[in-house]
């Protein structure tokens, strides 16, 4: 079999690989969103300051709850947007949505841990 007899369509193109990578990135972020929050809160509540806040309401975090919720919903919405986005249209914008999704998710984890 020669190289000319192979079907060129059998090989995925760069655009298809890029779209697949963006889909995997956004799905991974959405799947890891709740475990990120739960594990961060477990780490905070396991500390002396976190347990004191839980038990006595003292030395609680100075991070406003609205900032935490904003990061959570921004990450979820950006992940859903990246999944719903057409695979071949405006790929740079879809890529930006995935990067922003991960940025919001990592910021959320950092803000929760900063309350420890």
Q: What is the pLDDT of residues 3-30, one digit of tens each?
A: 555 555 555 565 665 778 888 999 999 9
Residue 39 placed within a domain: yes
SS percent in the chain: helix, strand, coil, step 5: 80, 0, 20
Residue 11 placed within a domain: no
Residue 6 placed within a domain: no
Q: What is the pLDDT of residues 42-97, one digit of tens each?
A: 999 898 888 888 888 888 888 888 999 999 999 999 999 999 988 777 888 889 99
Residue 48 placed within a domain: yes
CA pair distance 10, 16, nearest whole angstrom? 12
CA pair distance 80, 23, nearest whole angstrom? 10
Q: How many structural domains does the chain have?
A: 1
CA pair distance 63, 61, nearest whole angstrom? 5
What is the pTM (predicted TM-score) of this model? 0.80
The domain in which residue 37 lies consists of 16-114
Residue 9 placed within a domain: no
């Amino acid at each position: 079999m020669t190289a000319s007899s192979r079907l060129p369509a059998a090989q995925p193109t760069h655009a298809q690989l890029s779209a697949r990578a963006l889909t995997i990135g956004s799905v991974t972020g959405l799947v890891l969103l709740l475990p990120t929050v739960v594990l961060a809160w477990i780490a905070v509540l396991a500390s002396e300051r976190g347990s004191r806040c839980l038990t006595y309401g003292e030395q609680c975090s100075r991070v406003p709850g609205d900032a935490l919720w904003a990061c959570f919903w921004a990450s979820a919405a950006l992940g859903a947007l990246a999944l719903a986005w057409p695979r071949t249209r405006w790929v740079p914008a879809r890529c930006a949505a995935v990067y922003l999704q991960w940025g919001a998710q990592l910021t959320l984890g950092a803000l929760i841990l900063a309350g420890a």
